[in-house]
Structure 1
């Protein structure tokens, strides 16, 4: 299983890397083809759709957890029953999502009064296509969750890798054909259907999975709903953080400022995707550990190990963005997007602590102890919305970013109090281990930042050379001052295996 996770992690990092490179290459073409206004509308639709997705009521994580539980207990009948129940639930939710979307479309004129008639027409068209995509996704997503519960990560990550490559290529193609944003959302719909069908056939014919439609188990449903309700609350809070700002900007400032803010949040998404790869694999593993009686000391070993690795990764990415982010944006999109760097920094830097502790959230789901965290997150999200509505009137899109950052800081503080005093985890030990990673990062970043003030970078080639130089310095610094023996073994172990194979 370790090999499975390692290979899946490698494929995931490759997918994220290719996704970033392809996105960086295609975004200027997409922005220039659509224009700031239509690109802002496309971003707005994605933000609205993210709220429609919340209708899954948190059952997506429940599919993984309860399948993992039944697998661990060798309860085949229970697994068949619960998957039948989930399929019925998700099909009903899909229909509800489509109905809610249609109702919403009829109210766009009053909601987005700052948009003109042409912009509203485009918004309605691409939103309806995106809504159909979401409605179909609900019943289809159950199969990817089941595959995750079986820890078939390699297959899932290969499928995602194909999506990463095919999706932007097809989007650029439809733009070239003149189909604009309508073509882009249509591509997403087509790919989603194809992947959903592939997952179904893998579950049905490769894994021999049978879904049983028996009498509705009310007791089991109550247990599932109790677990899922707080996943839902966390999901709502997450969407308020990541997708409320474009809606508020659209209501108060119009379509064009959304485009600048969208670039900042896009850069933040790149960093999140790179940094949270490992934690995405651990819900099945942690669930099985807890079912088998793992204590807090054993869980803390996993939390610290993954937290330090994530710190090494996010330290490199964020410090690199601080050093080279502004010049990259200027070369990439031009002077008109210069301010996206400042907005991105305000959002990204406070998020480092949450990224490092992301496995804590996964652990709480596995323990079915995620209620308090969900309540904290939701309360802070409401506070963030209030601050955004106040700050946007004074500082514009900068106020949105400041409100987001403030909420993140308060959220991390409250969560760590909960981990320390309620769950009795040794949080001081955790952060002591993390700080050992970050001290050399800060010192190296400070020295390199000072030296870069004497340098002028004006092309991708120059930027690439300096990034490579910084990468070498970062790797050498982390190896010498931050990484422990186990972390070095992760790097050298595969190299030694390759060397031994080449000698035989």
Structure 2
């Protein structure tokens, strides 16, 4: 399984990197083709759809956990029965989501009173197509969750790599034919349907998966719902953090400021995608460890190991953005979007602590002990919304970012109190290990920032040169001062194999 995870992680990083490069290349074309207003509407639809997706009620993670549990117990009958129930549930949820979307469309005029009639017309059209996409995705997504439970990560990541390449290419193509935002959401619908069908075929032919409709097991459903309800609460909180701001901006400031905030959010998403790759693989593994009776020491070893690796990754990405982000945005999109750098910084920097501890959330789900964390996250998210409504009146989109940052800081502090005093994890040891990574990062970034203050970066060529130099300095600094013996061994092994193959 280690080989599977390593190969899948490599493919995932390749997908994320390729996705970022393609997105960075296509975004200026998309923004200029649609214009600020329609690009803002497209971003607004994505924010609204993110809330419709919450109708899965947290059952997506439950599909992974309960399938992984039955696989570990070699209980094929239970697996067939539970997947039959999941398929019925998600089909019903898909229908409910479509009905809710139609009702919502009829109320857009009163909700988004700052939009013009033409903007409302575009918003309604692209939202309906996106809503259909979500409705059909609910039952189809079960099969990707089942594949995850089987830890067939390589297949999933190859499919995702194909999606990463095809999606922006098809969107640019429809824009060239002047289908605008309507064509873009239609592309997403067609692509999701195609990949969903491929996953169904894979489950049937490669995993020999069969689904049995034997009736509705009320007792089992209560157990699933008890597990899923707190994941749902966390998902709601997450959507509030990531998608409430565009909605509030649309209510108070109009479509154009949404576009600027959307660029900052997009940059934040890039960083999250790079930083959280490893944690995404660990729910099946941790579930199986816990089912087999792993003790707290074994779990803590995994948490520290992955936390340090994530710290090495996020340290490079965030420090690089701090140093080069503003120059990049000016070259990429021009001075109209310059302020997106400030907004992105306010959001990104407090999020570092959550990223390095992301495996804690996965572990709690595996232990079925995520209730308190969900309540903390949801409570802080509600506070964040209140602060956003207050701050936006004084500081505009900056106020939205500040409210988000305050919420993140409070959330991390409360969670660490819970980990230490309730779950009895050695949080001090964890953070001492993380700080050992970040001290050389901060010193290197500070020195680099001082030296860069004497130069002007005005083209991709100069930007690329400075990024390469900083990257080499980062690798050298981490090797000498940031990495421990185990982390160096992880790198030395593959490098030695490549060297021996090249000599042969």
Which TM-score bucket, shorter chain as reference? over 0.9
Deviation at 1:66? 0.2
- Give the superposition deviation at 1:378: 0.1
Which residue matches 1:292?
292
Partner of 1:315: 315
Match of 1:7 in 2: 7
CA-to-aligned-CA distance 1:221-244 (integer Å, 9 cap, x gap): 100000000000000000000000
The answer to whether 1:193 aligns with 2:193 is yes
Offset at 1:215? Answer: 2.0
Distance verdict in 2 for CA 1:466–1:503, change over 3 Å: closer
Q: What's the TM-score once normalised by structure 1's chain length?
A: 1.00
Give structure 2 stretches of 5+ with no counterpart: none
| Alignment match, 1:339 | 339
**In 2, Cα distance between equivalents of 1:490 and 1:340:** 37
Superposition deviation, residue 416 in structure 1: 0.1
Q: TM-score, normalised by structure 2?
A: 1.00
For 1:36, the equivalent position in structure 2 comes to 36
Give the structure 2 partner of residue 67 of structure 1: 67
Q: Check if 1:494 corresponds to 2:494.
A: yes
Map 1:42-57 to 2 at 5 A.
42-57=42-57
Please give the alpha-carbon distance, in whole angstroms, between the structure 1 residues aligned to 2:79 and 2:503.
47
Per-residue CA distance 1:2-33 (angstroms, 9 max, x = gap): 00000000000000000000000000000000
Whole-angstrom CA distance in 2 between matches of 1:195 and 1:12: 17
Q: Deviations along 1:409-466, whole A, 9 cap, x unmatched?
A: 0000000000000000000000000000000000000000000011011000000000
Deviations 1:17-59 (A, max 9, x none): 0000000000000000000000000000000000000000000
Match of 2:113 in 1: 113
Distance 1:455 1:500 in 2: 42
- Please say if 1:369 is aligned against 2:369: yes
Map residues 74-473 of structure 1 onto 2, 5 A cutoff.
74-473=74-473
Q: What is the CA–CA distance in structure 1 between the aligned matches of 2:87 and 2:497, rounded to whole Å? A: 44
Aligned to 1:21: 21
Mapped to 2, the partners of 1:81 and 1:503 lie a distance apart of 54
- Which secondary structure state, in structure 2, belongs to the residue aligned with residue 424 of structure 1? coil
Alpha-carbon offset, residue 205 of structure 1: 1.2
Deviation at 1:501, TM superposition (A): 3.9
* Aligned mates of 1:465, 1:412 — CA distance in 2: 36
Distance in 1, Cα, partners of 2:503 & 2:69? 43
Q: Distance in 2 between matches of 1:319 and 1:496?
A: 29
CA distance in 1, matches of 2:4, 2:501: 20
Alignment partners' CA distance in 2, 1:83 and 1:489: 41
Q: CA RMSD in A?
A: 0.6
Deviation at 1:502, TM superposition (A): 4.5
